[in-house]
Structure 1
Amino acid sequence: MRRAMSRRLPLTVVTTTQSVPLGERTTLRLGGPAARFVHATTAAELVEAVRTADASTEPVLLLGGGSNLVVADRGFDGTVVHVATKGWRADPLGGGIVQFTVEAGEDWDGVVAEAVAQGLGGLECLSGIPGLVGATPVQNVGAYGVEIAQVLTSVDLLDRRSGKVHQVPAAKLGLAYRTSVLKGTDQAVVLRTRFALTAGGMSAPIRYAELARTLGVDQGERVPADAARKAVLELRRGKGMVLDSADHDTWSAGSFFTNPIIDDATFTGVLIRIAQVLGSDVDVPTYPAGQGHRKLSAAWLIERAGFRKGHVGPGGRVALSSKHTLALTNRGGATTEDLLDLAREVRDGVRAAFGVELHPEPVFIGCSL
């Protein structure tokens, strides 16, 4: 790895545009217009744009890659601040650890690719996830046995109440399964992130069984980081989880529902319901989720409730992905309300069949289930 490398892009002037279609800036390709749209390309511009918008009386929406947003058909009657900040830096800390500092507006998969190219391990299993860097700690993004919580060391946050910028350790972010103290609140804006990665070109230990099988290794082994990245991208493409404008299976917000976490007592009741519906000899997949709790597979529940891959929603304009039942997709010409109708059908069907409540993963703007 070359030492203390960084990339900086030229500063540009903040511009404000009126009535910008948000459907063009979300991976679902759904949503009405924003009344006003500000494009911020540096951290200083982002801070100023947010402070200026906060000084007004209208609502403010921070927009990154649009990969986890469901925007109402009527749009957003306020100011959208587009996070387009760029730049990264790699600083060796000793002991084979490298601090990788990245601005919030960088494309996430591009950052993973750069880390791998620089011989840094730790992010490769998170390859192919759409969106921007600033969203990853908010959701505690995870895939194939790795979560952001395992590599994140700190973030720089703009506190919108005080208007000040603080560096906050990852340990104070409340990082848990697909959540953090930043999720569900608009009181802080992520400006940049810092990750502790390992030099030497090897991956983090491969924990996910499907990925280990693809790589032909035992769980817990390390492989070259670029090999892990290629395998993850191959698996994600097979599930329609790598963005492709020509493939409607990728016109989605990724996994629409989180895997439900329930306590052991509730699980006993769920097993009874499953046995009544599917038979007593069914093997129900579960995963550890802390003492007295377990995680169920949302995809398994959806399929067993009768919703197969490709299940069609209103007018054929929306459907479950033909590759992955957790992805709700826009087949072209859909509305947000079409998508929500399909989501309600799936959620209610799983509840009716098994007594399990599915919760959506995306952020809803101006709409709800």
Structure 2
Amino acid sequence: MLVDNDAPLAPLTTLRLGGPARRLVTAVTDAEVVETVRAADAAGEPLLVIGGGSNLVIGDAGFDGTVLRIATEGFALDGTLLELAAGEVWTDAVARAVDAGLAGIEFLAGIPGSAGATPVQNVGAYGQEVAETITEVVAYDRLLHETVTLTGEDCAFSYRHSRFKADPDRYVVLRVRFRLADEGGMSSPVKYAEVARTLGVEAGQRVELRTAYETVLKLRAGKGMVLDPEDHDTWSAGSFFTNPVLTDDQYAAFLRRLDGLAAPAYPAGEGRTKTSAAWLIDNAGFRKGHGTGRPATLSTKHTLALTNRGGATTEDLLALAREVRDGVRAAFGVELVNEPVMVGVTL
């Protein structure tokens, strides 16, 4: 276990923003993770748990407490069953699963962060989400003071949400277990229209597993969503806003504001419709690269990513986020909700 005082946090996040931690603990075993959490809780110490730092917006003042960085390693395959330690790099895990010829997470290629964060956010992209394959999550329960195993059903997954996100101070994820599929070298059915178009297939068809994986990587890279230290479009937290899910009344009000525009619409359960945050941002007048010349701008490749151009502060980023959120609300009456976790700051 490595302990640092007054440790900078910005280098541990993909946004490269945020002030220092009073105390930073890097844990490389599950036992060290549990020990650190127990010690902080016993002392009444504020605790922040981070993995890959890809979904965090940390305030400029930093964190006045213990930051636990989970750096555990572990990739274990038993047939189609995959167990990952929470600190495993997600992009590497997906690549290894594809190398093993197993389908189920191939459309989640290139997503930065750690395996332990995937059930918290119910990470998803291109028509696939981890809720489809997670069978169990092993976590330390800070309320019961013991390690517990939650089934996929226990996790209460929904769109970019879970039991862990609903109660962020209770569980610390240690291990994640998946049931993948051997489809004879083929992918899961292609669900996402953009992927299907790129592959030249109909929705519902399968393609070669590696072709699906490589196609998603290229699509993400084209949007600045694959980490590259030299490309400031990737100095982001990925998609900053979730796609709004509207009730029937909210959707009817939204349609009245469109003034002839045709907005994307997808069924999202009984009485609910999902629309596109990227479409809303673009049609509210915020184009790619909006804010050029400022320290924080929209990505030049994707309107959903808010980026640090190299000298930004967290407040610079939040000012841009508020400008976009308020502009979309004024144009369409829809409230955008941030996807990254806010630490010491709010929109």
- TM-score, normalized by length of structure 1? 0.92
Matches within 5 A, 1:131-146: 131-146=113-128
C-alpha separation in 1, matches of 2:85 and 2:45: 27
Matches within 5 A, 1:230-245: 230-245=214-229
1:106 corresponds, among 88, 106, 123, to 88
Q: CA deviation at 1:209?
A: 1.1
Establish whether residue 15 from structure 1 lines up as the match of residue 2 from structure 2.
Answer: yes
C-alpha separation in 2, matches of 1:201 and 1:108: 21
Establish whether residue 155 from structure 1 lines up as the match of residue 134 from structure 2.
Answer: no
1:295 corresponds, among 274, 289, 300, to 274
1:72 corresponds, among 56, 59, 64, to 59
Q: List, as ranges, runs of 4+ consecutive aligned residues in structure 1 with deviation greater than 6 Å.
A: none
C-alpha separation in 1, matches of 2:249 and 2:342: 31
Give 1:336's aligned residue: 314
Secondary structure at 1:105's aligned position in 2? coil
Q: CA deviation at 1:236?
A: 0.3
Q: Aligned-pair RMSD on alpha carbons?
A: 1.0
Matches within 5 A, 1:212-223: 212-223=196-207
C-alpha separation in 1, matches of 2:147 and 2:252: 47
C-alpha separation in 1, matches of 2:5 and 2:189: 48
C-alpha separation in 2, matches of 1:296 and 1:77: 38
Give 1:95's aligned residue: none
C-alpha separation in 1, matches of 2:193 and 2:328: 26
Q: CA deviation at 1:114?
A: 0.4
C-alpha separation in 1, matches of 2:17 and 2:263: 35
Establish whether residue 61 from structure 1 lines up as the match of residue 48 from structure 2.
Answer: yes
C-alpha separation in 1, matches of 2:145 and 2:345: 29
C-alpha separation in 2, matches of 1:354 and 1:223: 38
Unpaired runs of 5+ residues, structure 1, are 1-13, 93-97
Give 1:5's aligned residue: none
The amino acid across from 2:106 in the alignment is E
1:209 corresponds, among 189, 193, 200, to 193
Secondary structure at 1:254's aligned position in 2? coil
Secondary structure at 1:338's aligned position in 2? helix
Establish whether residue 119 from structure 1 lines up as the match of residue 101 from structure 2.
Answer: yes
Secondary structure at 2:258's aligned position in 1? helix
The amino acid across from 1:23 in the alignment is A
C-alpha separation in 2, matches of 1:194 and 1:224: 24
C-alpha separation in 2, matches of 1:357 and 1:230: 34
Give 1:311's aligned residue: 290
C-alpha separation in 2, matches of 1:268 and 1:118: 47
Give 1:253's aligned residue: 237
Q: CA deviation at 1:57?
A: 2.2
C-alpha separation in 2, matches of 1:201 and 1:91: 17
Secondary structure at 2:337's aligned position in 1? coil
- TM-score, normalized by length of structure 2? 0.98
Establish whether residue 25 from structure 1 lines up as the match of residue 25 from structure 2.
Answer: no
**Aligned residues between the structures:** 345
Q: CA deviation at 1:172?
A: 1.0
Give 1:187's aligned residue: 170
C-alpha separation in 2, matches of 1:218 and 1:302: 29
The amino acid across from 1:339 in the alignment is L
Give 1:356's aligned residue: 334
Q: CA deviation at 1:201?
A: 2.4
C-alpha separation in 2, matches of 1:31 and 1:291: 40
Q: Point out the more displaced range, 207-216 or 248-257.
A: 207-216
Establish whether residue 365 from structure 1 lines up as the match of residue 343 from structure 2.
Answer: yes
Q: CA deviation at 1:105?
A: 0.3
Secondary structure at 1:324's aligned position in 2? coil
